Amino acid sequence: MAKILGIDLGTTNSAMAVVEIGQPRILENKEGMRTTPSIVAVGKNGERYVGVTAKRQAVTNPRDTIYSVKRLIGRRFADEEVQRDRKLLPYEIREGKQGDVEVKLGGEWKKPAEISAMILQKLKADAEDKLGEKITEAIITVPAYFDDSQRKATKDAGEIAGLTVKRVINEPTAAALAYGFNKKKDEKIVVYDFGGGTFDVSVLEVSEDTIEVRGTGGDTHLGGDDIDQKIIHHFIDEFKKESGMDVSKDQLVVQRLKDAAEKAKHELSSTLQTEVNIPFLTADSAGPKHFNISFTRAKLEELTRELVDRSIKLTKETVESAGVKISDINEVVMVGGQTRMPLIVEEVKKLFGKEPHKDINPDEVVALGAAVQGGIMQGYIRDVLLLDVTPLSLGIETLGQVFTKMIEKNTTVPVSKTQTFSTAADNQPSVEIHILQGERAMAHDNKTLGRFILDGIPPAPRGVPQVEVSFDIDANGILNVKAKDKATNKEQSIRIEGSSGLSEDEKKRMTADAEKHAAEDAKKKELAESRNLGETLVYTTEKMVKENDAKIKEEDKKEINEKSEALKNVLKLENVEEIKKATEELSKVAQRVGGELYKAASAQNSSGEPKQETPPAEESPKEEPNK
Amino acid sequence: MDEEKKQTEDTKTDVLPADTNDKAEEYLNNWKRERADFLNYKKDEFKRLSEFAKFANEGVLMEVIELMDDLETASKKIDDPGLAQIIKKLEEFLKKYDIEKIAAKKDFDPALHEAVSTEARPRQAEGEAGEGGDKIEEVRAGYKMHDKIIRPARVKIIKNN
């Protein structure tokens, strides 16, 4: 089935996505970028530029470079917005025959929908290039406040570009879809969209089979660009204070300051302070002038506080005028690159008293949601295919009470995993399989799900028997654990139904516990592992001495004996360093003696070591069978 | 009566298998589709990963390029062979990662250039008389990595009029 392209046709930038294997994915454009500037231009020689190339030539060709055409699409020329934007936009705008808007591009008058179509055409071509297949259908998003005429014009743009527009959906709805909130019945959602040039707030209500827009608001001339401008002006002022020079008229210098402002803004989303360092910014008769200031997050917030506060005020008003109480809002979704700013997240959180959703890239979430809508329409995203994941890791207890994970947390089910274990003692007749769930390193800190015993293991030295343990979780979350002795094919199993029957709180607590105790758990695990290593070494060394009694010199035997006793003594203690040291010492002697034995025997063929599988081994040789 | 009961059972079993067969067919097909999707996804993912690996260093190298910009700006103001040597060293370093400067061109090409300002100069002032088109003057070098433009050259447009 051909893919449906999900398109976020933005005022400043556009993005596109498709669904693959039930998951939406952003498609990069031909230039390798995940978003495409919504700009179209016609150059001197009549060649057409769309996207980043149009943006790059804008300065030199302002009258034939059309940007922000979304502000005009489907509007009447007499509209207040058109009249206002007409003054800000550098290209020619006139009234069409039907009272609509026309823009001049390359000497020809065009409808805004035709300009949008050029952007869509590029996206379509780039998507086809990327996917290697034809794209004929699309879902296009529009702001929730778009009226019928604006929606129809957007749809026309799609058709002109050669796309069958399956549906025009609201941007906030797309964002909610990307988060899968269409399944949250009766919830009220606020979408806070702080884009490059526009700020939109929407209140959504999810019902049985629809997502209804309850209210919209915002400011069509408030965006991340305003924040950048504040920073640039601050830099210009600082430089003036320092050098006495006004660089605001020098385009090249302003360009360098703009680069630095963007960079600083991004950095201050993750750090509290950054250094703005532009050597040789400009020069006067006294020589070159450099710009070097320290710029803090606090300063950035002080500069932009007014803009953020305005957005919060608008959000509050929008929710209230939708007839919804702030406290009734169930989810808040962040859209637009500017929402990466910590101050914005903090203020939104303060307003609603809950953490806003921002896990999905805010520049891409709308396009992803549009793709999800396409996926739903094609039936790619079916409820059946929404697979569960294991909330916590599952595994068994192994030697030294260590929790050995078989299935990691967040693994998609159904899944099965098999691992081979062995015995911990010579002639051990049975192994106990102790099934646990959790994230802690030591077995007893996790939750026991069940246990059983596999007996009838034929007598053999430790480490020789091979017990295959398999975990299988089916699509219903039922866990089957089976243990099989490979020598006798004897097996024993257990079925655990409620393996994911944990409450949300329980899951959270267990995960948090694991994080809290991570360091101490790692220490315990290290102790258990070094003990295991020490014990194994004592065992193998003693075995070597026993088997080669006649060939080993008495003094070596004595040394081995001493070192081995010393190790056995420290093994009782809880000191990892001591154990490691004693193990190391015994190991050195054992290796030297072993090496001599090997040399002596090299003329003949020495007897092969028994093959040993994965070292963790079951300890407690309990005898009574489980059932 | 036995006969009758058998009959009804037969008719029942007649209907059931057909239905189950349909279901089984549907499930099998869905499963095949899912397997195929997965295998195709793996292939695509492999391609994406190789592409990703190819440009994995891009972010870090971009910052190195920024240092290079500063050094080049400095070298325009300070004539020092040592500085020139540092620039050469950095150039060699970038070359190791298949990063090269975009060769200067006479005409503006938005695929390679980003215009940052325009300036009108009388024609006579320009050395190359005869050609009528606009000239460009590079203010910051552009770079390509494995033939992909990772940063266009910043240029000033000199209008000839």
- Contacts of residues A540-548 at CB distance under 8 Å and 24 or more positions apart, as own/partner, are A540/A590, A541/A586, A541/A590, A543/A461, A544/A590, A544/A593, A544/A594, A544/A597, A548/A597
Cβ-Cβ contacts under 8 Å for B39 (sequence gap 6 or more): none
ipTM over 0.90: no
For B120, nearest residue in chain A (alpha carbons)? A60
In this complex, the residue of A56, A60, A385 whose CB is nearest that of residue B152 is A56
User: Which residue has 């294997």 as its token pair?
Assistant: A21
Cβ-Cβ contacts under 8 Å for A111 (sequence gap 6 or more): A96, A100, A101, A102, A153
Rounded mean pLDDT, B120-127: 58
The confidence score (pLDDT) of residue A385 equals 45
Query: Three-state SS string across A399-459, please?
Result: CCCEEEEEECCCCECCEEEEEEEEECCCCCCCEEEEEEECCCCEHHHCEEEEEEEECCCCC
Confidence at B143, pLDDT banded by 50, 70, 90: very high
The confidence score (pLDDT) of residue B13 equals 44
In sequence order, the β-bridge partners of residue A370 are none
Residue B75's SS3 state is helix
Evaluate whether A347 touches A334 at the Cβ level (below 8 Å): no
The confidence score (pLDDT) of residue B128 equals 46
The confidence score (pLDDT) of residue B134 equals 75
Q: Are strands B143-145 and B135-140 parallel, antiparallel or unpaired?
A: unpaired
Cis peptide before B110 (omega within 30 of 0): no
Got the DSSP string for B136-155?
A: EEEEE--EEETTEEEEPEEE
Evaluate whether A478 touches A500 at the Cβ level (below 8 Å): no
The confidence score (pLDDT) of residue A501 equals 55
Q: CB distance from B141 to chain A under 8 Å?
A: no
In this complex, the residue of A32, A59, A255 whose CB is nearest that of residue B118 is A59
Q: How far apart are CA A273 and CA A276, in angstroms?
A: 10
User: Which residue has 């050259």 as its token pair?
Assistant: B153
**Which residues of chain A neighbour B34 with C-beta distances below 8 Å?**
385
Mutation target among B42, B80, B116 for the A interface, most CBs of A within 10 A: B116
In this complex, the residue of A21, A31, A32 whose CB is nearest that of residue B38 is A21
**Which residues of chain B neighbour A385 with C-beta distances below 8 Å?**
34
In this complex, the residue of A55, A56, A280 whose CB is nearest that of residue B77 is A280
**Contact (CB<8Å) A255/B157:** no
Torsion sign over Cα B19, B22, B28, B30? negative
**Which residues of chain A neighbour B59 with C-beta distances below 8 Å?**
none
The confidence score (pLDDT) of residue A61 equals 92
Nearest CA distance, B30 vs chain A (angstrom) = 10
Residues of A involved in catalysis: 8, 70, 171, 193
Residue A410 has pLDDT above 90, yes or no: no
**Contact (CB<8Å) B115/A31:** no
**Contact (CB<8Å) B115/A32:** no
Q: How far apart are CA B138 and CA A281, in angstroms?
A: 16
- Residue B79 DSSP class: -
Note the residue count of chain A. 627
Report the b/e string of A99-113 with b at 16+ CB within 10 A: ebbbbbbbeeebbbb
Q: CB distance from B117 to chain A under 8 Å?
A: yes
> What tens digit of pLDDT does each residue of A151-199 get?
999 999 999 999 999 999 999 999 999 998 888 788 999 999 999 999 9
Name the amino acid, one letter, at A406: M
Question: Could you give the count of Cα atoms lying within 13 Å of A57 in the half-sphere of its Cβ?
Answer: 25
What mean pLDDT, rounded, does chain A reach?
88
